A and B are shown apart, each in its own frame.
Chain A
Amino acid sequence: MSATPDATVSPRDEFRKKGLDRVQLLATIAKDASIATLLRGIEFHACAPGVSLVTQGHYTNRLWILLQGLADRYRTEPGTERPQHLGALQPGEWFGEGSALSNQPALFSIEAKTACTLVSVDPAAFKALYRGEKAFAQLVDERYRVQSLAAHLRIVPLFRVLPEDVLKRLQPHVQFELLPADRVIAEEGVAADAIYLVRSGAVQCTTVGKDGAKRILGFYMDNSCFGETSLAVGDPRWIGTYQTMAPTDVVKIPAAILREVAGPDATGQLQGTANLLARQEAGGAPGLFDLLKKAGREGAPTADEVEVMVANESAKGGHALVIDLARCVRCNACVESCVAVHADRVPRLSKTGNRISTQKTLASACYHCEIPECMMSCNYGAIRRDVRGTIEFVWDNCVGCTSCVSNCPYNVIRMTPPPDEGPRDVTPSILANLPLVGHWFRSEALCGSKGQEAGSKVHKVTGREEKVAGKAVKCDLCAGMPFEACVYNCPCSAIERVAPEALFRD
Chain B
Amino acid sequence: MNRTLLLSIHGLVAILVVGGLVALALTGRVTIGRAPQGQRDYLLWTGWIALALFFAAYAYVLRKYAHKLGYSPEFRRQVARNAMDQAEQRLGVLRDRIAAKTLTDRSQILDAARAILRETGCGRVLVVRVANDSAGGPALFTQRTEPLARTARWMHAHVYYGLGAGILTFVHGGGHFSTPMGIALNGLTLVVVLTGLVGLGFWLVGPGWLTKEERDLSIEEAFVLDRHYTRRVEAEAAKLGEKDKELAAALMSAAPPGNLAGRLIAVLAPAPDAERRARDLLTLIGQRGRVAAELARLQRVKFAMNAWRLVHIPASIVLLAVITAHVLSIWLY
Contact = CB atoms under 8 A, between A and B. Distances in A.
B155 A351 contact: no
Given A78-B93, A352-B218, A328 B207 contact: yes
A464 interface: no
A86 interface: no
Contacts of B97: 79
A474 to B, nearest CB: 15
Contacts of A79: 93, 97
Given A326-B207, A337-B67, A340-B67, A491 B151 contact: yes
B309 A430 contact: yes
Contact of A482 (B124, B151, B218, B305): B124
A482 B300 contact: no
Contact of B67 (A160, A448, A489): A489
Interface in B254-311: 296, 299-300, 302-303, 305-306, 309
B81 A480 contact: yes
Nearest to A332: B220
Contact of B92 (A337, A387, A448): A387
A442 B227 CA distance: 11
Contacts of A388: 84-85, 88
A351 B302 CA distance: 15
Interface centre among B67, B206, B210, B219 (most CB of A within 10 A): B67
Contacts, number: 157
A329 B85 contact: no
A408 to B, nearest CB: 17
Interface stretch (B140-148, B236-244, B319-327): B140-148
Interface string B70-86: 10001101111111111
Contact of B125 (A105, A447, A480, A493): A480
B22 to A, nearest CB: 28
Given A336-B68, A433-B302, A479 B218 contact: no
B146 to A, nearest CB: 5
Nearest to B224: A447
A484 interface: yes
A341 interface: yes
A481 B203 contact: no
Given A434-B303, A483-B146, A326 B2 contact: yes
B67 A482 contact: no
Given A361-B218, A482-B124, A333 B151 contact: yes
Contacts of B118: none
A46 to B, nearest CB: 23
A483 B85 contact: no
Nearest to B2: A327
Contact of B86 (A57, A361, A435, A483): A57
Interface in B84-103: 84-86, 88-89, 92-93, 96-97, 99-100
B111 interface: no
A207 B69 CA distance: 52
Interface in B153-187: 154-155
A433 B152 contact: no
B150 interface: yes
A392 B84 CA distance: 13
A387 B92 CA distance: 9
Contacts of A355: 218
A59 B85 contact: yes
B48 interface: no
B208 A326 contact: yes
A337 B300 contact: no
Contacts of A59: 85
A340 B126 CA distance: 20
Contact of A488 (B4, B146, B221): B146
Contact of A340 (B68, B144, B220, B227): B68
A433 B227 CA distance: 15
Contacts of B211: 325-326, 358-359
Nearest to A355: B218
Contacts of A435: 296, 299-300, 303
B202 interface: yes
Contact of B144 (A341, A438, A482, A494): A482
B194 to A, nearest CB: 19
B150 A78 contact: no
Interface centre among A59, A358, A430, A482 (most CB of B within 10 A): A482
A488 B150 contact: yes
A435 B299 CA distance: 6
A480 B80 contact: yes
Contacts of B235: none
Contact of B4 (A444, A449, A493): A493
Contacts of A210: none
B1 interface: yes
Interface string A424-454: 0000101001110010001010011100000
Contacts of B125: 480-482
Nearest to A339: B68
Contacts of B207: 325-330, 492, 494
A160 to B, nearest CB: 7
B302 to A, nearest CB: 6
Contacts of A161: 100
A490 interface: yes
A356 to B, nearest CB: 13
B64 interface: yes
Nearest to A363: B220
B229 interface: no
B89 A105 contact: yes
B127 to A, nearest CB: 9
A479 B299 contact: no
Contacts of B81: 386, 392, 479-480
B55 interface: no
Given A57-B86, A434-B303, A492-B2, A329 B202 contact: yes
A78 B98 CA distance: 13
B58 interface: no
A490 B309 CA distance: 18
A435 B297 CA distance: 9
A309 interface: no
List of 9 A-B pairs having minimum Cβ-Cβ separation, nearest first:
A482-B125, A491-B155, A493-B152, A327-B2, A482-B145, A325-B211, A387-B88, A351-B220, A78-B93
Interface of B: 1-2, 4, 64, 67-70, 74-75, 77-86, 88-89, 92-93, 96-97, 99-100, 124-126, 144-147, 150-152, 154-155, 202-203, 206-208, 210-211, 218-221, 223-224, 227, 296, 299-300, 302-303, 305-306, 309
16 contacts: A57-B86, A58-B82, A59-B85, A327-B2, A329-B305, A355-B218, A361-B218, A387-B89, A433-B299, A433-B303, A442-B223, A447-B224, A480-B78, A480-B81, A480-B125, A492-B207
Interface of A: 57-59, 78-79, 105, 157, 160-161, 325-330, 333, 336-337, 340-341, 350-352, 355, 358-359, 361, 386-388, 392, 428, 430, 433-435, 438, 442, 444, 447-449, 479-485, 487-494
Given A325-B211, A386-B81, A491-B152, 6 more contacts: A329-B207, A359-B211, A479-B81, A480-B80, A482-B146, A489-B151
